[in-house]
Amino acid sequence: MSFIKGLKCRECGREYPKEPLHVCEFCFGPLEVDYDYQGIQRVLSREVIAQRPFTMWRYRELLPLDEEPMVGLRVGGTPLIKADRLAKALGAAELYIKNDAVNFPTLSFKDRVVAVALSKAKEFGFEVVACASTGNLANSVAALAATNGLRSYVFIPADLEQGKVLGTLIYGTQLIGIKGSYDEVNRLCSEIAGKYGWAFVNINIRPYYAEGSKTFGFETAEQLGWRLPRHIVVPMAGGSLITKIWKAFQELQKVGLIEKSECRIHGAQATGCAPITTAFKEGADLIKPVKPQTIAKSLAIGNPADGFYALKTIRESGGWAEDISDEEIIEAMKLLAETEGIFTETAGGVTVGVAQKLLEKGAIPKEESIVISITGNGLKTQEAILGKVGAAQVINAKLNEFEALVREK
């Protein structure tokens, strides 16, 4: 049973049918999926959800499919851990990590959006799926397309980390490396999407795709015992995830799954690509595109498609936006690994480091509950820490050499 009414323009409110559309013909505003929330409230309860498998699909009434999901049936259901050792290091009282570094199958939160996008693409009858990616989306589209016999074309900046490149090629996709930044990749893909009848997950079926991000928020609230944290720190690339976590929290209140409550949503970027946090700090409404230069390549979008709405989300929720340097990103990756045993990619370094900065300056009060979003896995961005974490001490397989080495310490 489906509860999607159709698509609706975020700007002028015009309604559109459930089709592969993404911009309003009248005002060029982005289209968003519109649901029958009263209908959902009638069928969806905490008890109903609790009986379902712990995957992202346990909230399926709040996802934009008309049929049963066909792709990525085991995506989601990642751990929310109470991070006491990291909390102590940061001087926070109640800190949690939502850990999508172990999301199945490709170890980033992108599996959530791709599971929805490819299921929807199959409903629409597409045979070829495609994406413009900063890396994790590439892995996820290639893997999930492979499991469903869909042909895939994946477009990336040619200079991505090897883990992301190999972690795409292994699935037998058509991988196209563009000499240029993500923003140039995206511009080319918009032209291709208009010309070829392919489902570009983050272009022509973006309204459906983006809804998958909400499950990160749904799970977080459920894992906290059906409540919101007072703060959540979210990484921003195109600015979609942060707006959808906010939407998820609103929807849970709208359908009566949680009490009315407030959560401040804080946006995190790398200083080398910080168009959204810069606009926030300057009090601007418009985002000035930048040329990215940072090790946080998964967040390196200089002209963020949802930047305007990301800013709005942060401001309406009473949150902050902050950015940190590449050195700080590496320090934060190490801190998370050494305190909680979680090896995150550079994007996770960004959220941990920004949380630290917001705590230090008092933007997040130390005694209030905080969730830090970890969205990707460190094994994919090894270049970033090469030479920054020491090296193995190499000896011959002789006890005396080992003992000499231990004595030196």
Ligand X SMILES: *Cc1c(COP(=O)(O)O)cnc(C)c1O
Give the interface with Zn ion as residue ranges (CB under 5 A). 9, 11-12, 14, 24, 26-27, 29
Site string for ligand X, 318-357 (x = CB under 6 A): ---------------------------x-x----------
165 binds ligand X (CB under 6 A): no
> Which residue number, 44 or 241, has a Cβ lying nearer to ligand X?
241
The residues that bridge with 370 in the sheet, in sequence order, are: 95, 231
CA distances from 388 to 76, 90, 333 (A): 32, 22, 11
Binding partner selected for residue 264 from Zn ion, ligand X, none, CB under the kind-specific 5 to 8 Å limit: none
Q: How many amino acids of this chain bind ligand X (CB under 6 A)?
A: 16
Question: Scanning residues 193 to 232, which ones bind ligand X (CB under 6 A)?
Answer: none
> Which residue number, 26 or 226, has a Cβ lying nearer to Zn ion?
26
Binding partner selected for residue 163 from Zn ion, ligand X, none, CB under the kind-specific 5 to 8 Å limit: none
Prior bond of 292 cis (ω within 30°): no
What is the C-alpha separation between 283 and 24, in angstroms, rounded?
27
CB of 267 to ligand X, least distance (A): 9
Residues 6+ apart with CB under 8 A from 176: 153, 154, 155, 156
CB of 370 to ligand X, least distance (A): 18
Question: Which one of residues 22, 58, 60, 110 is an interface residue with ligand X (CB under 6 A)?
Answer: 110
Q: Which of 165, 113, 161, 182 is nearest to 346 (CA)?
A: 161
Question: Which one of residues 298, 313, 317, 369 is an interface residue with ligand X (CB under 6 A)?
Answer: 298
What is the C-alpha separation between 369 and 252, in angstroms, rounded?
19
Element (DSSP H or E) covering residue 89: helix 84-90
Question: Scanning residues 373 to 402, which ones bind ligand X (CB under 6 A)?
Answer: 375-376
Residues 6+ apart with CB under 8 A from 329: 270, 294, 295, 296, 346, 349, 350, 353, 384
240 binds ligand X (CB under 6 A): yes
Question: Which one of residues 64, 72, 217, 238 is an interface residue with ligand X (CB under 6 A)?
Answer: 238
Greatest extent of the chain over all pairs of C-alpha atoms, in Å: 78
CB of 308 to ligand X, least distance (A): 13
Residues 6+ apart with CB under 8 A from 304: 236, 237, 238, 239, 275, 276, 287, 310
The residue ranges that bind ligand X (CB under 6 A) are: 108, 110, 136, 235-241, 298-299, 345, 347, 375-376
